[in-house]
């Protein structure tokens, strides 16, 4: 069959969505399907190396100050031209849609006109999270309406977690859905104990840091921790809307051992995770994402790096259950004092190299992104089969 992915973000941009979509597209191609990706041109400095079995078509977009396609104008710069890109493209058997909801809105319209079904990847619910960034009732109601309409029109939605699927049902979304999860890119992330330690001991935050993640808790906690543990560093790898807030907090606390680095390719991040005391991951309570499970967890564990998690949601239970078999790290409430104490515990009793190797093997065996992608592809094949379309 012929499948078209529709997403404002795709490899080589560093994000969980990019990694996920590239994995699913690759598995479609491996099964002999024809795959086209409609996406945006990457930021300057990123040169895409397109796989030969996946056709990627890129268009100009407007990006925000941090280089992301994020915000009303950037979203529209992708979604408005998308109408023509889809309407005049060769017909597909299935569209695979990545949020924002406005992209799903466009695809539902074109799908109806061209009688083409679509599936929707629901990594989260944007209309839940929007309440943390705006108090406008008009904006919140409009976004909720668009998002629900986009998801309800899909033949299948792929939820990132069971909690998210439950939340979708609470909002009245009764269209077919399944928990697809995420997983780790096991080709890029593994434990390698030949790690250079010239940089000294450090904790690492790898990925996007936005309002709902609340990474500032680690800055506050690190300010307490470093008083008794001089020589340690806290390294942020990535970008996000909270970058200015985090930098301002670092300055206000007079910290000199907190670093901010731009996103890096998977193999580079893997080496940094290999050498870190632990990765730090957060989920701020009450931000509309209490059901979420950060995909950063899988990446860290696959690299053999224990996790220090602060916040709400299912992650704490996941780490407690994993601790029956391996040493996955610790979870705390979203409180600087508790996080600081956990940093001290991990620094004073570091996970041994052999235990980190076992952790990596355990995670790679159970949480492979390739296995997740295969489940998604199988579900999509069933969708097309039920629709009566004849794929090739």
Has residue 27 been placed in a domain? yes
pLDDT at 301: 97
* CATH assignment at residue 164: 3.40.50.2000
How far apart CA 212 and CA 291 sit, in angstroms, is 12
Q: 325 and 290 in one domain?
A: yes
Domain annotation covers residue 392: no
Query: How many Cβ atoms from other residues are within 10 Å of residue 197's Cβ?
Result: 8
Q: Going along 267-383, which residue ranges are E strands?
A: 278-283, 307-311, 329-332
Residues of the chain with pLDDT under 50: 391-392
Contacts for 231 with CB less than 8 Å, ≥ 6 apart: 200, 201
Residue 197 lies in a domain: no
Same domain, 271 and 295: yes
Say yes or no: 29 and 155 in one domain. Answer: yes
Is 219 found in the same domain as 116? no
Q: What angle do CA 316, 318, 321 make, to 5 degrees?
A: 110
Q: At residue 187, what are phi and psi to the nearest 5 degrees?
A: -80, -25
User: Which whole-number Å values give the CA distances from 180 to 166, 243, 256, in the listed order?
Assistant: 13, 30, 41
* Three-state DSSP class for residue 51: coil
Residue labelled with tokens 């998801």 = 151
Separation of alpha carbons 123 and 101, rounded Å:
11
In sequence order, which ranges of 154-198 are alpha helices (DSSP H)?
Answer: 162-170
Token pair for 27:
């598995």
342 and 236 in a common domain: yes
Same domain, yes or no: 343 and 299: yes
Phi/psi of residue 282, each to 5°? -135, 160
Instruction: Quote the pTM value.
Output: 0.85
- 228 and 319 within one domain: yes
Give the pLDDT of residue 147: 97
pLDDT for 392? 46
Under 8 Å CB-to-CB from 74, ≥6 apart: which residues?
Answer: 8, 61, 62, 63, 64, 68
Mean pLDDT of the chain: 92
Residue ranges making up the domain that contains 272: 202-366
Residue 188: inside a domain:
no
Between CA 85 and CA 79 the distance in angstroms is: 10
The residues, ordered by sequence, that sit 6+ positions from 364 with a Cβ below 8 Å of its Cβ are 184, 186, 189, 190, 302
**Residue 9 included in any domain:** yes
The pLDDT assigned to 135 comes to 77
| 126 lies in the same domain as 273 | no
- Enumerate residues 6+ apart whose C-beta is below 8 A from 230: none
Enter the tokens of residue 162. Answer: 């069971």
- Shared domain check, 337 and 246: yes
Same domain for 146 and 290, yes or no, is: no
Q: List, as one string, the DSSP characters of 70-131.
A: -SHHHHHHHHHHHHHHHHTSPP-SEEEE-S-HHHHHHHHHHHHHHT--EEEEESS-HHHHGG
| Domain-embedded: residue 15 | yes
Number of domains in the chain: 2
**Residue 245: inside a domain, yes or no?**
yes
Query: Rounded to 5 degrees, what angle do the CA atoms 208, 209, 214 make?
Result: 150
Q: Are residues 18 and 132 in the same domain?
A: yes
Cα dihedral: 298, 299, 303, 307 (round 10): -60
Q: Is 333 inside any structural domain?
A: yes
> For 238-273, what is each residue's pLDDT tens digit?
888 899 999 999 999 999 999 999 888 888 999 999
Q: Are residues 15 and 128 in the same domain?
A: yes
């Amino acid at each position: 069959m012929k499948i078209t992915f529709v997403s404002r973000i795709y490899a080589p941009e560093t994000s969980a969505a990019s990694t996920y979509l590239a994995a699913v597209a690759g598995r479609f191609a491996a099964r002999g399907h024809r795959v086209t990706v409609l996406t945006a041109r990457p930021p300057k400095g990123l040169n895409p190396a397109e796989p030969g079995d996946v056709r990627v078509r890129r268009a100009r977009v407007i990006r925000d100050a941090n280089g992301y396609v994020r915000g009303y104008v950037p979203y529209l710069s992708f979604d408005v031209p998308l109408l023509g890109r889809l309407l005049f493209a060769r017909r597909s058997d299935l569209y695979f849609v990545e949020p924002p909801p406005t992209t799903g809105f466009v695809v539902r319209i074109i799908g109806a006109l061209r009688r083409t079904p679509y599936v929707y990847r629901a990594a989260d619910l944007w209309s839940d999270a929007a309440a943390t960034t705006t108090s406008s009732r008009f904006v919140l109601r409009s976004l909720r309406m668009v998002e629900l309409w986009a998801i309800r029109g899909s033949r299948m939605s792929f939820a990132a977690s069971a909690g998210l699927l439950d939340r979708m049902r609470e909002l009245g979304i009764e269209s077919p859905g399944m928990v697809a999860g995420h997983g780790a890119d096991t080709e890029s992330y593994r434990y390698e104990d030949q790690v250079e330690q010239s940089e000294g001991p450090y904790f690492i935050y790898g990925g996007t840091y936005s309002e709902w993640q609340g990474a500032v808790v680690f800055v506050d906690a690190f300010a307490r921790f470093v008083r008794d543990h001089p020589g340690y560093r806290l390294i942020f790898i990535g970008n996000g809307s909270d970058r200015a807030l985090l930098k301002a907090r670092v300055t206000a606390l007079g910290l000199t051992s907190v670093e901010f680095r731009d996103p890096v390719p998977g193999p580079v991040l893997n080496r940094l995770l290999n050498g870190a005391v632990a990765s730090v991951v957060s989920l701020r309570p009450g931000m509309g994402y209490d059901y979420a499970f950060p995909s950063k967890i899988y990446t860290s564990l696959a690299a053999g790096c224990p996790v220090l998690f602060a916040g709400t949601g299912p992650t704490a239970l996941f780490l407690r259950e994993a601790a029956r078999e391996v040493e996955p790290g610790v979870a705390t409430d979203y409180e600087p004092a508790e996080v600081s104490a956990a940093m001290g515990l991990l620094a004073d009793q570091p996970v041994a190299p052999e235990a980190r190797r076992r952790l990596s093997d355990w995670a790679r065996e159970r949480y492979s992104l390739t296995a997740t992608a295969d489940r998604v592809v199988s579900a999509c094949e069933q969708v097309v089969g039920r629709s009566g379309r004849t794929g090739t």
